[in-house]
Structure 1
Amino acid sequence: MKPLFTLLALILIFPATASSTDLVRGKQDTVIIELNNNSKIVIITKSREDLASLENYDINQMVRDLNDQLSDSVEYMEIQDGKAYVNEDEVEMKDWKISDDEVRIKLGGVEVDVDPDEMDDWDEDDWGDRKKVTYEAERVDKTTHHFNIDIGLNNWLEDGSFPEGNSPYTVKSFGSWYVGLNSTNRTWVGGPLFLEWGVGISWYNWKLQDPDYIIEEGANEIEFNLAPAGQNGKKSKLTASYINVTVVPMFDFSKGRRKITSIESGGIRIKKYSRKGFRFGVGGYAGYRIGSHTKFKYKEDGDREKDKERDNFFLENFRYGIRAQIGWKGVELFANYDLNDVFSANRGPINADGENANLSAISFGITL
């Protein structure tokens, strides 16, 4: 295995009488650790990145070996074989590379790798012998990719406020779900600034407050009509799906640092990534409608019935708007606001003033 940490002079231990000239030689690549007993540990590396991977080495074992071999007559000692102190289990877990036969699943902050060949011999007893390593990733990759899910509630606003409760197109606050499946890239721009961009599919579900109203496409506009006598409404909703492109500049004050917990058992390896610190961002999105339908569930003569219709329902094909994201450690929240109307011009439902209502979609929730 190629070592992660290159030591030019692995560890030099000097007595208190060592000259300062010897200690500062090559000082630009040197770390000097003052010990309580007036001795010093000097670590010389090629780069700061090499120094960060020192955590892969068993320093305690180095010290034990030095204590065993060092005598009063020895003033200088150098360990030549640094590879002997590499913690192989930890290095393998951090640097595990997926092969052509393995399967990787990434969802939000969890990554699961499965080796089918090793899984054939795996059983639940092997889980008791699992290996677990927790460490922090300080290095920031230029661009990383992940898959996440937006889950929340959606509604629509009429001239900046929610429709009145007695309006036939008033949406039920709880139960009108918004779901988004997103393939997202995160590119480091510099300092705390990142750019999150990607594509995804989302679903609006507008569930009516009064389930006795049926959503229908009329001759000139979308209509919300009372169900025929004898039909006792249980659920009435309009669903629209979109394919979207999103770009959000993010300020991440932890500068991308993450806490990583890696667990391995047989052919299964699970990595959990936990972000650190506070982050927020505001950006935009644009989408194209790829489907829409209505669903009306009701009881008639004691029997449960369901009517489902697919059409465009005068919905705008394009949507665009503003997206805000805010996060703290492992929690990520989002809010979307469409700047255009849900329905085409002069095709919205008739409001109390006898005019076509201008309805804008809004959604908010949590990102997994």
Structure 2
Amino acid sequence: MKNKLNIKTKMKSFITALMIALIFPAMAFAETDPKQDTVIIELNNNSKIVIITKSRADLASLENYDVNQMIKDLNAQLSDSVEYLEISDGKAYVNDDDEVEMKDWKINDDEVRIKLGGVEVDVDPDEIDDWDENDWEDRKKVTYEAERVDRTSHHFNIDIGLNNWLDDGNFPDMNNAPYSIKPFGSWYVGLNSTNRTWVGGPVFLEWGLGISWYNWKLQDTDFIIEEGSERIEFNQAPASVNGQKSKLTASYINATVVPMFDFSRGRRKITSIESGGVKIKKYSRKGFRFGLGGYAGYRIGSHTKYKFKENGSTEKDKETDNFFLENFRYGLRAQVGWKGVELFANYDLNEVFSTNRGPLNANNQSANLNAISFGITL
């Protein structure tokens, strides 16, 4: 809960008016009548409760809030110098089986907070030592919907998917090229620190930094990836060798900007669970959303790995080099989501290898390879 207090130190009388305002983001009503309805409840001692709402449906949603508990908590914080106080919708007091829980947790200095995708976990080390399975049986659970959207929110997510490359718009395995990529098992992984900024209406902007890994595994494991004198080469392994895995890995640090259209306008379903020293919040998005943007990255590492059997023993060769890879990458990113599911697709507009440094194709020319990746965002 965010309290906005205008304090006049010379005030001699106690608070004479209490305003409780339910404030919803302006974007949710960008296409509706801007007029508001006001309900004023006269109390004793010249006190009032003023409720400002957009519609009868919003007024009905007050049934989900415990106003008595809200006022008790406010009264405990008031001093004789308070003239005016306003409650924004940053904290919800939700009724559930006659129990009231305040949804915004304040983390202490000795607590640990882990936030991944739509799950947030707070752990208090002092209490977790005494935690047992009986505490979990007595856990408190509340599910509610949050209409409020922060101007900018931050989260950490993981991209997990597959990657490949296109040779002039076609997959290399169409021509049985030695640099054909194994369709399943060539994993793409991205770790992203992402900000989500509300622009207005259903428009959001997702932007941030991250680290990603391409893992190109060859379809034919009897080919070895090597750096030649003029280009990257995919050479046949000796007959005495039985190849098991052959891959090229490249890692990049990236900056990404993706405009998003979120037709739920940021509304989320939130489930909170508290047990002993453990607090868990799960955020689930609502509705359909999609976006198209771009990214740019800089290579921070690359290596090849060849796993094979020779004379009955398993061996591994790992080489670290640049392998004629382009240091920069840039491309297009598409995102689409439905409720709790988020999918992504990346396409590098620049080539994987430097100009005329790619592997030779069937026409004995340098192949023009562009990286692609797609998968799910956690």
* TM-score category (smaller protein): 0.7 to 0.9
Alignment partner of 1:120 is 2:132: no
Aligned to 2:249: 239
Alignment partner of 1:157 is 2:166: yes
Aligned to 1:175: 185
Aligned to 1:304: 314
Aligned to 2:32: none
Alignment partner of 1:205 is 2:215: yes
Cα distance change, pair 355–367 in 1 and its aligned pair in 2 (3 A)? same
Say which is worse superposed, 176-185 or 111-120, in terms of deviation: 111-120
Q: 2:37 aligns with which of 20, 28, 32?
A: 28
Alignment partner of 1:329 is 2:339: yes
Alignment partner of 1:270 is 2:292: no
Q: Deviations over 1:266-313 (max 9, x none)?
A: 010010000000000000000000000000010001111110110000
SS at match of 2:37: helix
Alignment partner of 1:355 is 2:365: yes
Residue type of the alignment partner of 1:128: E
SS at match of 2:252: strand
Aligned to 2:106: 97
| Structure 1 segments of 4+ aligned residues over 3 angstroms from their partners | 1-4, 6-9, 46-54, 85-91
**Aligned partners of 1:342, 1:176: CA distance in 2, in Å?**
15
Q: Deviations over 1:74-116 (max 9, x none)?
A: xxxxxxxxxxx98595432x02211211111011111001111
Shift in Å at residue 8 of structure 1?
A: 5.6
Aligned to 2:89: none
Aligned length: 315
Answer yes or no: is the 8 Å Cα contact 1:244–1:287 preserved in 2.
Answer: yes
Say which is worse superposed, 50-59 or 197-206, in terms of deviation: 50-59
Shift in Å at residue 205 of structure 1?
A: 0.4
Answer yes or no: is the 8 Å Cα contact 1:90–1:133 preserved in 2.
Answer: no
Alignment partner of 1:137 is 2:137: no
Shift in Å at residue 123 of structure 1?
A: 1.2
**Aligned partners of 2:216, 2:117: CA distance in 1, in Å?**
26
Shift in Å at residue 3 of structure 1?
A: 9.5
Answer yes or no: is the 8 Å Cα contact 1:241–1:289 preserved in 2.
Answer: yes
Consecutive unaligned residues in structure 2, runs of 5 or more = 5-16, 21-35, 42-47, 69-92
Q: Deviations over 1:202-237 (max 9, x none)?
A: 000000000000000000000000111211000100
**Aligned partners of 1:346, 1:108: CA distance in 2, in Å?**
41
Cα distance change, pair 344–2 in 1 and its aligned pair in 2 (3 A)? closer
**Aligned partners of 2:201, 2:371: CA distance in 1, in Å?**
34
Answer yes or no: is the 8 Å Cα contact 1:213–1:227 preserved in 2.
Answer: yes
Residue type of the alignment partner of 1:254: S
**Aligned partners of 2:64, 2:226: CA distance in 1, in Å?**
64
SS at match of 1:122: coil
Aligned to 2:157: 148
Cα distance change, pair 106–53 in 1 and its aligned pair in 2 (3 A)? farther
Aligned to 1:319: 329
Shift in Å at residue 47 of structure 1?
A: 3.7
Answer yes or no: is the 8 Å Cα contact 1:182–1:200 preserved in 2.
Answer: yes
**Aligned partners of 1:104, 1:343: CA distance in 2, in Å?**
41
Q: Deviations over 1:169-218 (max 9, x none)?
A: 00010010000000000000000000000000000000000000000000
Residue type of the alignment partner of 2:315: E
Shift in Å at residue 7 of structure 1?
A: 6.2
The two structures, once aligned, show a CA RMSD in angstroms of 2.7
Q: Deviations over 1:304-330 (max 9, x none)?
A: 111011000000000000000000000
Q: Deviations over 1:131-186 (max 9, x none)?
A: 00000000111000000000000000010111135210000100100000000000
Shift in Å at residue 29 of structure 1?
A: 1.4
Consecutive unaligned residues in structure 1, runs of 5 or more = 10-26, 33-42, 60-84
Aligned to 2:355: 345
Cα distance change, pair 283–8 in 1 and its aligned pair in 2 (3 A)? closer
Aligned to 2:65: 56
Shift in Å at residue 117 of structure 1?
A: 1.1
**Aligned partners of 2:165, 2:370: CA distance in 1, in Å?**
5
Aligned to 1:80: none
**Aligned partners of 2:237, 2:283: CA distance in 1, in Å?**
50
**Aligned partners of 1:2, 1:233: CA distance in 2, in Å?**
62
Cα distance change, pair 135–182 in 1 and its aligned pair in 2 (3 A)? same
TM normalised by structure 2 equals: 0.78
SS at match of 1:125: helix
**Aligned partners of 1:206, 1:254: CA distance in 2, in Å?**
37
Q: 2:119 aligns with which of 110, 134, 137?
A: 110
Q: Deviations over 1:52-95 (max 9, x none)?
A: 66623179xxxxxxxxxxxxxxxxxxxxxxxxx98595432x02
SS at match of 1:91: strand
Answer yes or no: is the 8 Å Cα contact 2:268–2:286 preserved in 1.
Answer: yes
Q: Which has the larger radius of gyration?
A: 1
